[in-house]
């Protein structure tokens, strides 16, 4: 069984999501190869080569791949994946954007948002906002898998490194052009791999009030999350959205602050280890998934918790 893992990265460092993908895949494919596509990304290839189980890293390094756009990257992967039985990627916006396009060219049905791998051809994936787990049997000759990173721990890295093989295939992209990006500076851990997440809902009432959430998060070295309602209201940027259509997280500790618990939000956080809910409404659905609940005004409770913790 040969498996190729597509590395997720920003040309500087390897995303930890790829470590979870590698771990997931190692249950059916002890060793695997990785492919790093980008520009000036040799350092990423080095990091990828140290993943436990990695046999070889393909490095495709050219300015044409700087933004890893799907149009040409998919064609490149189609060329590389010929002798493999599995192709795996994270179910992030990067993976979601790329994998189906590859699948169409290979005439294969991809299996997305995998939360469990049962056998080499049996997978479990979430659907209906996580309220249904579907067991999938795939008989496609190559399995295209996108992995929910938060459902798998990260694989170990080691000091030994696998060989890096440079591939010189440059495919032009005349169809799509990168213009700009707005990535706010990240001071806190990535949401999908954070240990502690403090998430706020519409009850926060303003962007300014989100500093309460941030203050609590920083006490734990944690991350800040939000509901769709809070993002729609403009309290916080889209990349903090947790839910069916945002990020899916599973930290050790999840604080739901002023969050009522719509199905769509629960889809993104109900696999957290411990959930604490703070809400004025005791009937709010969030209390049905919370391990611990505090009923009351978040503007009193959160400062109180911060005060105690700062003692």
Residues in 25-64 that interact with another protein by CB under 8 A: none
- Provide the mask over 208-247, with x wherever binding to another protein is found by CB under 8 A and - wherever it is not: ----------xxxx------x--xx----xxx----xx-x
1 binds another protein (CB under 8 A): no
CA-based nearest residue to 35, from 166, 218, 137, 124:
166
The interface region with another protein, picked from 20-28, 37-45, 125-133, 203-211 by CB under 8 A, is 125-133
Site for another protein in 281-300 (CB under 8 A): 282, 287-296
In angstroms, give the least distance from the CB of 162 to another protein: 27
In angstroms, give the least distance from the CB of 36 to another protein: 18
* CB contact set of 175 (below 8 Å; sequence gap of 6+): 71
Tell me whether residue 49 or residue 193 sits nearer to another protein (CB atom): 193
Tell me whether residue 69 or residue 167 sits nearer to another protein (CB atom): 69
Paired sense of beta strands 164-166 and 54-61, if any:
parallel
305 binds another protein (CB under 8 A): yes
Query: In the structure encoding, which two tokens stand for residue 37, read together?
Result: 């596509």
Choose, by CB under 8 A, the member of 16, 109, 157, 233 that binds another protein: 109
CA atoms of 283 and 286, how far apart (whole Å): 8
Query: Binders of another protein: how many residues, by CB under 8 A?
Result: 96
Cβ atoms < 10 Å from Cβ of 13: 11
Judged on CB neighbours under 10 Å (0-12, 13-18, 19+), 285 is: middle
* CB contact set of 190 (below 8 Å; sequence gap of 6+): 15, 16, 223
Tell me whether residue 165 or residue 291 sits nearer to another protein (CB atom): 291
Judged on CB neighbours under 10 Å (0-12, 13-18, 19+), 140 is: middle
Half-sphere exposure at residue 279, Cβ-oriented, CA atoms within 13 angstroms:
24
The interface region with another protein, picked from 27-35, 53-61, 199-207, 276-284 by CB under 8 A, is 276-284
CA-based nearest residue to 250, from 271, 233, 266:
271
Choose, by CB under 8 A, the member of 82, 83, 119, 132 that binds another protein: 132
Site for another protein in 159-198 (CB under 8 A): 174-184, 186, 192, 196
207 binds another protein (CB under 8 A): no
Tell me whether residue 31 or residue 97 sits nearer to another protein (CB atom): 97
């Amino acid at each position: 069984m040969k498996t190729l893992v597509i590395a997720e990265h920003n040309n500087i460092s390897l995303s930890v999501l790829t470590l979870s993908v590698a771990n997931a895949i190692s249950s059916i494919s002890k060793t695997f190869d990785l492919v790093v596509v980008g520009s000036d990304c040799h350092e990423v290839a080095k990091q990828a080569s140290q993943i436990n189980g990695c046999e070889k890293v393909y490095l495709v390094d050219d300015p044409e791949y700087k933004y890893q756009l799907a149009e040409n990257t998919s064609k490149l992967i189609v060329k590389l994946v010929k002798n493999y039985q599995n192709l795996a990627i994270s179910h992030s916006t990067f993976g979601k954007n790329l994998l189906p396009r590859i699948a169409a060219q290979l005439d294969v049905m991809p299996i997305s948002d995998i939360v469990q791998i049962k056998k080499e051809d049996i997978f479990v994936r979430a659907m209906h906002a996580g309220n249904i787990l579907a067991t999938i049997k795939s008989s496609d000759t190559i399995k295209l898998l996108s992995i929910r990173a938060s459902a798998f721990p990260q694989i170990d890295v080691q000091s030994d490194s696998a060989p890096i093989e440079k591939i010189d295939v440059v495919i032009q992209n005349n169809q799509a052009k990168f213009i700009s990006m707005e990535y706010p500076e990240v001071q806190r851990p990535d949401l999908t791999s954070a240990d502690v997440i403090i998430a706020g809902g519409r009850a926060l009432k303003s962007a300014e009030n989100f500093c309460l959430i941030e203050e609590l998060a920083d006490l734990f070295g944690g991350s800040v999350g939000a509901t769709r309602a809070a993002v729609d209201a403009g309290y916080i940027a889209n990349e903090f959205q947790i839910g069916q259509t945002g990020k899916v997280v599973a930290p050790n500790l999840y604080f739901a602050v002023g969050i009522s618990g719509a199905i769509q939000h629960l889809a993104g956080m109900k696999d957290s280890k411990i959930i604490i809910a703070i809400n004025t409404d005791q009937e709010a659905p969030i209390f049905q998934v919370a391990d611990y609940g505090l009923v009351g005004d978040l503007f009193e409770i959160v400062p109180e918790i911060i005060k105690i913790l700062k003692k």
